[in-house]
Amino acid sequence: MPTWQQLRDVKLNEYTDAADGWGKVSSRSNADKDRVDNEMLARIRKSQEGKAAEAAEADLDQLARNYQYLHTECGLVRTALNGLAAELAAPQKKLKQALEDAENLKFTVHADGSVEYPAGGENLIDKKPIPGGTANGSQFGLFSPTAPPMYQGQGNSPLLNPPGLYPGLGGGNPNQAKAQAVANAIAAAVHEANEIDGRYSGVLRHLKADPGLKVENKDLADAAADTKRLQDAAGKYVAASDIPQGRSTEENAKWWNGLTQEQRDEYATLFPASVGALDGIPSTVRDDANRMVFAESKAKYEIELAGIPPEPKPKLVSYGARGGMVYSQKWLDWHHKYEGRQADLKGWLHGMNAIESRLERPAGSGMPEAYLLKFDAEKDDGRVILANGNPDTADHTAVYVPGTKTKLSDIEGDLGRTDALWSQTNGLVPNQSVSTITWFDYNAPNDIPAATLNKYGEEGAPTLRQFMNGMETAQGGPDRSHTTVMGHSYGSTVAGMATQQDRGAGPLADDIIAVGSPGMQVEHASDLGVGKEHVWAMGGDGDDVLVRQGGRLVGHGEGFTIPTDKGFGGNIMASDAKDHGDFWVPGRNSLFNQGAVIAGLHDKVTLD
């Protein structure tokens, strides 16, 4: 608990200097992690094979994990020290002003914070100076209506009598009220500093790592807990409410660009999920933030899954004289308490393993660097936005919107489709940069009956529109990149509805592709806002016919018109897809045509 002397003498620049040092370690750790992921691992995979390569990759994966942990924890220390210094500045300033006032008034401030004042004024009866005294300060102020009863009237002067007045004497010592004010200011400053010190000291005590060279799940879970503690402690210094919510992507970018680099680092460290989901800011920033969220979430889920006891055996036990079988009570207890959660955890981790595999694949391995632009395992069936290549700098950018039955647990298939799209498009324009994005940021229908409803598209369309606006903002304008939105199945319905959102912001994209579409909630290609010559549709055989015609029947196409109809007015591309999920097979015409549209090579597209 600091004294007023300690508050006076503390050198806040020493805290900020230390914070700068921790910040440099955090930044260096992040850079080292990227070097391991994108340089060292790529060399290992190119030069080695077999068990030696597997062992080396495992060691480097662990090293990258260690750097990720250092990046997070050192960033938290930096933010805590900066927050402590920033918040202590106000009470220190108040204290120094009170001490200056005391010196100017010739008062004496004692070690306990009391203020001695000299004789002053005149007794109206005997004309002698009124004696001096000592004022004891209250953090609440002498006449504060919110002060507890125990503090009312502190400091040599009862509450019923204004400071410096004595009954029957008329006048009073004018120094008394001034001394009381100084003493109260000192007490309030010290109290404020103690409250700040208590908040931050608790956080800093927890910011320590176990000895050893291996960061484990428990360490990452501790990092998440450390982040939460610092969020609570540093709320007056850097708050989640500072981060824009519900604003335009231009406003998001303006807020971000108005921060210093140190402030950006602090918001990203303290609120990674919020920063990682903010449309309009650089993809590199979002990726760093979301990787923190991803690593800590995966560690938490793995720890929780490991803590679930095994399913009791036997599951069934005999019951009654006739030998009937019923569930055992132990199994029923386990089933009600654990089975549903266990299934969720296994599903999430299955999907997260697929995401992790893509994130760990270094640039130069046949695919570009991956960027995790959003991650949330627990919202509906999950949320994932993952880009192959940096969309902020890409010459050609494609956003793939998946359809019915999409969920985090099965995201591997969708990631594979955008991998195939990138490889195909990159092969067509090898001297230009390409980014293909899996955009799963809406609650997709879980089954065919749900897919007959419009509500999933109505909820997802504004989010897709916001993402496309944000991508354009981060790229630097509508002409910076050739953009394509591709919707598969119900995803095309979401894309069609997104074109009707925020029409004043311009077209949703340069080109729109509808693959296996049950309808786009418009009657004609020209209603999509990109020009009918920039609308492309593709259908397949087998169950794809059922999906498209079923969508027609339930009204996903205005006027019962769907994109593969001639009357819709768009370009109908040739397709060799054998079923509803067969559009992304390498070497097939279906994939080639999609890649040609994404690459802007419209004259190479084969039409039906």
Do 460 and 403 lie in one domain? The reply is: yes
Condensed to tens digits (0 to 9), the pLDDT of residues 106-127 reads: 999 999 999 999 998 877 777 7
Answer whether residue 130 is part of any domain.
yes
Do 234 and 189 lie in one domain? The reply is: no
Do 379 and 428 lie in one domain? The reply is: yes
Condensed to tens digits (0 to 9), the pLDDT of residues 336-352 reads: 999 999 999 999 999 99
Residue ranges in 436-500 assigned as alpha helix (H):
448-451, 455-475, 490-498
Instruction: Give yes or no for residue 79 having a pLDDT over 50.
Output: yes
Answer whether residue 97 is part of any domain.
no
Do 378 and 315 lie in one domain? The reply is: no
Residue ending a domain, choose from 156, 171, 205? 205
Do 421 and 535 lie in one domain? The reply is: yes
Higher pLDDT, 123 or 448: 448
Do 450 and 574 lie in one domain? The reply is: yes
At 61, the pLDDT band (50, 70, 90 cuts) reads: confident
Condensed to tens digits (0 to 9), the pLDDT of residues 569-603 reads: 999 999 999 999 999 999 999 999 999 999 999 99
Query: What pLDDT is stored for residue 324 in this prediction?
Result: 82
- CA pair distance 525, 266, nearest whole angstrom: 46
Instruction: Give yes or no for residue 157 having a pLDDT over 60.
Output: no
The C-alpha torsion from 563 through 566 and 567 to 570, rounded to 10°, is 50
Do 426 and 514 lie in one domain? The reply is: yes
What b/e string do you get for 279-313 counting C-beta neighbours within 10 Å, with b at 16 or more?
bbbbbebbbbbbbbbbbbbbbbbbebeeeeeeeee
- 8 Å CB contact between 257 and 282: no
Average pLDDT for residues 59-82, to the nearest whole number?
84
Query: What pLDDT is stored for residue 509 in this prediction?
Result: 97
Average pLDDT for residues 516-522, to the nearest whole number?
96
Instruction: Give yes or no for residue 319 having a pLDDT over 50.
Output: yes
Query: What pLDDT is stored for residue 374 in this prediction?
Result: 98
Query: What pLDDT is stored for residue 428 in this prediction?
Result: 98
Counting DSSP H helices and E strands in the chain, the numbers are 18, 13
Percent of the chain with pLDDT strictly greater than 90: 61
Query: What pLDDT is stored for residue 163 in this prediction?
Result: 45
Condensed to tens digits (0 to 9), the pLDDT of residues 17-32 reads: 888 898 888 888 888 7
Percent of the chain with pLDDT strictly greater than 70: 92
Residue ending a domain, choose from 326, 360, 394? 360
At 1, the pLDDT band (50, 70, 90 cuts) reads: low
Do 386 and 518 lie in one domain? The reply is: yes
* Chain mean pLDDT for the chain: 88
- CA pair distance 64, 61, nearest whole angstrom: 5
Answer whether residue 100 is part of any domain.
no
Answer whether residue 299 is part of any domain.
yes
Query: Which tokens is 62 given?
Result: 């662990």
- CA pair distance 371, 389, nearest whole angstrom: 7
Do 131 and 237 lie in one domain? The reply is: no
- 8 Å CB contact between 526 and 512: no
Instruction: Specify which of 150-154, 266-270, 470-474 reaches the highest per-range mean pLDDT.
Output: 470-474
- 8 Å CB contact between 443 and 494: no
What region does 106 belong to: left with phi over 0, alpha with psi -120 to 50, or beta? left
The H-or-E segment that residue 371 falls in is strand 370-376
Q: How many domains does the chain have?
A: 4
Instruction: Give yes or no for residue 69 having a pLDDT over 90.
Output: no
Query: What pLDDT is stored for residue 560 in this prediction?
Result: 92
The H-or-E segment that residue 394 falls in is none
Residue ending a domain, choose from 360, 388, 403? 360
- CA pair distance 417, 474, nearest whole angstrom: 25
Do 503 and 540 lie in one domain? The reply is: yes
- CA pair distance 222, 208, nearest whole angstrom: 10
Do 350 and 397 lie in one domain? The reply is: no
Instruction: Give yes or no for residue 393 having a pLDDT over 90.
Output: yes
Answer whether residue 276 is part of any domain.
yes
CATH number of the domain residue 523 falls in? 3.40.50.1820
Answer whether residue 43 is part of any domain.
yes
Condensed to tens digits (0 to 9), the pLDDT of residues 469-499 reads: 999 999 999 999 999 999 999 999 999 999 9
Do 77 and 201 lie in one domain? The reply is: no
Average pLDDT for residues 258-267, to the nearest whole number?
92
Condensed to tens digits (0 to 9), the pLDDT of residues 354-367 reads: 999 999 887 777 89
Instruction: Give yes or no for residue 154 having a pLDDT over 60.
Output: no
Domain of residue 522, residue span:
368-604
Query: What pLDDT is stored for residue 148 in this prediction?
Result: 41
- CA pair distance 451, 325, nearest whole angstrom: 39
Average pLDDT for residues 161-186, to the nearest whole number?
70
Answer whether residue 99 is part of any domain.
no
Query: What pLDDT is stored for residue 35 in this prediction?
Result: 78
Condensed to tens digits (0 to 9), the pLDDT of residues 396-405 reads: 999 999 999 9
Instruction: Specify which of 55-64, 239-248, 435-444 reaches the highest per-range mean pLDDT.
Output: 435-444
Query: What pLDDT is stored for residue 32 in this prediction?
Result: 79
Task: State the pairing for strand pair 108-109/482-488.
Answer: unpaired
Answer whether residue 419 is part of any domain.
yes
